[in-house]
Amino acid sequence: MKFFGWRMVFVGLTLEFTVVGFLFYSFPIIWPYLISELGMTESQLGMVSALYFIPVSILAIIIGRALDKYSVKKFMMVGAIFYACGLFSLSFINSYWSLLTIYLTILALGSIMMGNLAVSKLISNWFDKNAGRALGIAAIGISFSGVMLPLIVDPMLDLVGWRNVYIIFASIVLFIIFPLIFFTVIDEPNIVNQVKDGIKKDSKEVSLAKEMTAKDLLSKKVFWIISLAFAFQFLSMMGVLAFLPIHASKMGLGETWNLLGLPIKQYVFAYSLAAFGGVLGKIIFGYLMDIMKAAHPVMIAMFLQATGIFGITYFNEPSIFFLSAFIFGLGFGAATPLMTACYLRTFGAHNLGKARGISSPIISPLQPIGILITSILIGFQDTYFVAFNIMGCFALVGAALASQIQEA
């Protein structure tokens, strides 16, 4: 019988594409329409993404623990329904507060139930030896959505309007993603008489991971090092990525190109190029995680992220700016699979959901701080120079912490 694990990876990739792409990568492309039509500001819209992580951090604790005990498939199916309802609701907003409310309630719940936390748990159930690669491939959906959706959504906005774009998103989730989960997802390999990685092990090699309590996890120094290292990486990433298209536009990259018959603005291309770097970063660093000590690929990824941020901050020459955006993406793209792989390698699949859930109150409060800092500084200065320099330094702090990761 053909090993079904890679099928779970494909489903995970599709879900990551849908959740992150519809919720985040498409959002900055829609900003100009929300600003002109509903009178919102850049700072307000940046705050939406920042505040979103507050309910997510709370929900992650509960759902992370539940995923270790109950069916991942059922959580994903319910999450898809909530997520579709949230996207559909966005097509009717008429104020900033309605936008914020939907992001912080329905979308937060739906995305956490069918997004990266659930995908990571599903894949950890199916892989052990090849977990780094499997997580990296699944996480490609995150960055691939950033490559494709800005290029697709930008012309769609002129064709059908931003409200109809959200209706299309909701329809995709309800009529394509939900059936995909229902007919394809299998919680664990033993349900279909298979084993992890599709490789049978000697009985003496098989051991059940010790179940850890929240107190056990919080007492481990390595748990705090991993959590804080990635908290600073995500802080740095979010403080730049959400504002990259507008920053590129202000740097003079406003020309419209004809790319494969589509009118693509330079600042949208820079945004997509960063996401393309993220695709490669997930593949490369997912592989490196399987063959190197955990600290090394994590440090390299964070140094690349810092280098890219400084590049897009100091250079407005198109070729250098685009290269810097790509390097930035190469670094931040590795963050999610590397973080999950670090927890998995250190604490085992049996504790992954719990470890990810408990780490959320550590990571999530720091994650939006980058957006807050950038939103506040842009309000005073109308330039991203100071804010992005600060974000680059935060990425270096993450790299310094990552150097202290020690495996059990």
Give residue-wise pLDDT tens across range 362-381: 887 787 788 888 888 876 76
Q: Per the domain annotation, does 177 fall within a domain?
A: yes
Tokens of 333: 């793209």
Measure the CA–CA gap between 91 and 233, rounded to whole angstroms.
Answer: 32
Q: How many CB atoms lie within 10 A of CB 246?
A: 19
State how many domains the chain has.
1
The pLDDT score that the predictor gives to residue 204 is: 44
Q: Per the domain annotation, does 171 fall within a domain?
A: yes
- Please provide the average confidence, as pLDDT, over all residues in the chain: 87
Structural domain boundaries enclosing 238: 5-192+211-402
Three-state DSSP state, 109: helix
Measure the CA–CA gap between 402 and 287, rounded to whole angstroms.
Answer: 18
The pLDDT score that the predictor gives to residue 269 is: 84
Residue 322: is it exposed, middle or buried by C-beta count within 10 angstroms (0-12/13-18/19+)?
Answer: buried
Q: Per the domain annotation, does 206 fall within a domain?
A: no
The pLDDT score that the predictor gives to residue 262 is: 64
- Highest mean pLDDT out of 273-287, 306-320, 354-368: 306-320
Q: Per the domain annotation, does 53 fall within a domain?
A: yes
Measure the CA–CA gap between 315 and 305, rounded to whole angstroms.
Answer: 16
Q: Give the CATH number for residue 375.
A: 1.20.1250.20
Q: Per the domain annotation, does 202 fall within a domain?
A: no
CB 401 within 8 A of CB 235: no
**DSSP codes joined into one string, 171-201:** HHIIIIIHHHHHHH--S-GGGGT--GGG---
CB 68 within 8 A of CB 354: yes
Q: Give the list of residues 6+ apart from residue 315 with CB closer than 8 angstroms, or none.
A: 321, 324
